[in-house]
Amino acid sequence: MNRFVVDCLVSGLAGGLLSHLAVALRSRTDRGRADLAMYSVSHIAWGDAPEAHHGDTPHNWLIGATLHHGACVFWATFFEALFGREAERSTPAALTGGATIAAAAYVTDYHVVAERFKPGFEAHLSDRSLFVVYAGLAAGLAAGARLRGLYRHQVEDRDERDEGRNAERRPQAVVAPE
């Protein structure tokens, strides 16, 4: 499979997992039920209001979760295209990239798209909770890229050891004294 596609899946699923966890935790805090906010995402499939989904039909949770994770993989394509290689090598770059893409996702989700395509979290979550959800997306995108970079670095080191060579190291950044 193409490396770019794999990279998008890894960071997108990591972003989806952390933001889904944030949705569940904040939904439990705000509404007393961890699963409630994810039900509201299914309104996209049905074309009705997010408030109409209160967990009465279990398949709506699966639809909401699928739409949510699909959207996270979608946003990961932008993350990987703009920040992917550098995010693998640098935690600050990964966090900056994750935050940038999560901010773009929030603006798009709540200020650009039609009501029909908004995630629907706002029906059950406070504004503070929405921030936590998008922060989870940012952290997940960054974590996926960094973990992937660490894994690839270990594989390269192992291959070099198997060939009897010293592992190649990147030069350390030189910081001038103040």
Q: What pTM was computed for the model? A: 0.84
pLDDT in tens, 13-38: 999 999 999 999 999 999 999 988 99
pLDDT value at residue 173:
64
User: Cα(42)–Cα(40) distance, rounded to whole angstroms?
Assistant: 5
Q: Is the pLDDT of residue 169 over 70?
A: no
Which one-letter amino acid corresponds to residue 88? Answer: E
pLDDT in tens, 66-76: 999 999 999 99
pLDDT value at residue 110:
95
